[in-house]
Structure 1
């Protein structure tokens, strides 16, 4: 496929921190994608929470199924816009590698526990994983990904610092940057004041598309709200109405699927239409021009964005703050708050392969960061098992 001039071209990649010879059969971004797929952190996503804790049901999304859905959307949008599909897919596949057990609940708990030691941010943790914690290669720690893929992971939600920084992963003062990101940026300047490539922006929007779609589906399956509730909302209401008009009396499960796939389509088509209009208007001639724009080139239209805000508000109330979900959040928060201090005070409890890192820790902050790496890497089921083994057994 011929790439657009504003795409990231593999032959002009800024390379890797540790130089490697080019692959005979794969582009640099293909190699990045493949290394991510074969990483230990990627495999662990299958037992990490999206909204519902992993053991609650086989049909709910996990971080792995969510990630695959994001990658599929990213490939579709990137290919349609003449972008580098392999790079968009690589960023999409890596975007959630830093999530701890129990999803955002676990992240909130770890951020609180790590407040004295530099905090916790899952985006920065993903960078730490792919640059330090994956230890399989003879010549380097991490996956030695290209600059473009690292940039995409770090900035797919926008600039981290500077006048255009916004969102939950941005910081007003560079000194407040998550340490995991600051360490990598000191080695390999990721230009954190600029936007990411169009491919990384595609991965970020694909993330929004995927979770807006599947959270509706999972919430319905969990019985937290009904199709009748969704008939009252923008986007979802018209989707159900169209299905009812075309397929009167359709089986309820098929009706649900047909309506939500239309919601999915509305989001993807909107992003593509907006991007085409903005690209036509600005006529960027390089990936760097995309980075230096004042705002993202890939985004929802303002009307759809407002409609999606209404849907998110509904989900926040009816799903993310549903009593059953809140009870589970409280339960797993307590587990994380039991495990982290225990490992910090008794670091010998960590597996043998972590003892060298513990020995290298110069102070309590460095030790806390080793413990964080271990706890953040846990799956839901392993965290539950370890809590049962170490905390409840001890209490008994």
Structure 2
């Protein structure tokens, strides 16, 4: 670890507000270890336990919520980072934080809030994550008394920045999110009123380029949800890995992820995956043996994908794999295998009629909730957001406060607030 620590300089460890060393009788922790602890103890991190990943966590004790998903992404990111020689605490912290900005109802809620926030710069889950880390989470204030959020180091904040550009510079949206929602709004990583913190954390960074630690976090997220969504769908009874409707799945793959992929290519890729020794030969039946077999497949797939990326990355560069000195390399075959798994989950889980109908009701609920809070603010806002409302300079800023309040709710609390206020 000492060798890895030496690859990061004073600028990487710098915080927006300088902090003195901790008291001498406290356990010694390095700066990036302190970053990780701050995210783990954050209120917005605990909130993820009540956020749906794909399958409603109230429907089965086995399936994942956004908190367990984030923990699994963090484990994958840490292992891959350690193998590459990147700082594992930075990649793990970025993975733990990657879903903090998700509003109620995931990407469906994100889509609704982006429309509702049109007059204050839109809404984007990754930009909301940065806003939480640098403003909304209470930990540290600057000399003026303004919150700087968790006051993480520059290297950690940069690793948390999946889309390092504002809305004005964002590419045209396309494709779908991991949970099947069409990407209507552009993907961006910072709201205009958070640009000072963004400019600070991007000091010395090439414009529009992600650091390698952010690339590790992003890959870990893709690997986790591609594998785990199939696992959750299998346990929920919506996916049978021994009876896959290939033509229908391939249509979904082309519509959502890979429009140019041929049937022959996708057949070949699925064949490779099915030749993995742990791919099931009998349908999942809920027994311990069946569950163990499914968990072994999950482990083998994660190891397969990360091992291929590690080998390709080492073959392409001598490193060191620190910030902007190298990039992660994802082989085309590996990416197609991940895409096939996403397509299986998308076809059998994401496109279910009852799920589409539920998403429409959720968007209506958020629109009604934002409207009633705008009408009754600041009285109905939480105390912290009430103070933000009083400090807001104009209608756009006040709208942002209401959006922040709604985005801070869980799926369950959003429903409760809506029932109470409407």
Query: What TM-score range do you get, normalising by the shorter chain?
Result: 0.7 to 0.9
TM-score, normalised by the number of residues in structure 2 = 0.79
1:324 equivalent to 2:380? Answer no
Deviation per CA, 1:346-389: give whole Å up to 9, x if none: 21221334222111122211011000111001011111111222
In 2, distance between residues paired with 1:261 and 1:98?
A: 28
State the Cα distance separating 1:216 from its structure 2 match.
Answer: 0.5
SS in 1 for 2:99: coil
In 1, distance between residues paired with 2:310 and 2:360?
A: 40
Q: What is the match of residue 394 of structure 1?
A: none
Q: Is the 8 A contact 1:230 1:237 kept in 2?
A: no
Deviation per CA, 1:135-179: give whole Å up to 9, x if none: 24466441111111111112x356779999798799xx9999633
Q: What is the match of residue 148 of structure 1?
A: 155
Q: Is the 8 A contact 1:74 1:206 kept in 2?
A: yes
In the TM superposition, 1:1-396 aligns within 5 A as: 1-3=1-3, 8-9=7-8, 11=10, 13-23=12-22, 25-137=28-140, 140-154=147-161, 156=162, 178-179=191-192, 181-190=194-203, 191=205, 193-229=207-243, 233-234=270-271, 236-239=273-276, 244=281, 251-280=289-318, 283=319, 287-290=323-326, 297-347=327-377, 348-391=379-422
Relative distance call for 1:266 and 1:160 in structure 2 (3 A) is farther
After TM superposition, the structure 1 stretch with the greater mean CA deviation from structure 2, 177-186 or 60-69, is 177-186
Q: Is the 8 A contact 2:135 2:148 kept in 1?
A: yes
Q: What is the match of residue 294 of structure 1?
A: none
State the Cα distance separating 1:269 from its structure 2 match.
Answer: 1.2
State the Cα distance separating 1:237 from its structure 2 match.
Answer: 2.1
TM-score, normalised by the number of residues in structure 1 = 0.84
In 1, distance between residues paired with 2:390 and 2:243?
A: 56
Relative distance call for 1:55 and 1:8 in structure 2 (3 A) is farther
Q: Is the 8 A contact 1:10 1:28 kept in 2?
A: no
Deviation per CA, 1:26-52: give whole Å up to 9, x if none: 111111111111111111111112113
**Aligned-pair RMSD on alpha carbons?**
3.4
SS in 1 for 2:160: helix
SS in 2 for 1:227: coil
In 2, distance between residues paired with 1:161 and 1:352?
A: 29
In 2, distance between residues paired with 1:242 and 1:354?
A: 50
Equivalent pairs counted in the alignment come to: 377
In 1, distance between residues paired with 2:277 and 2:412?
A: 37
Deviation per CA, 1:300-353: give whole Å up to 9, x if none: 211111222233233223221211321222222221121111111221221334
Relative distance call for 1:234 and 1:386 in structure 2 (3 A) is farther
Unaligned regions of 5+ residues in structure 2, if any? 178-182, 247-269
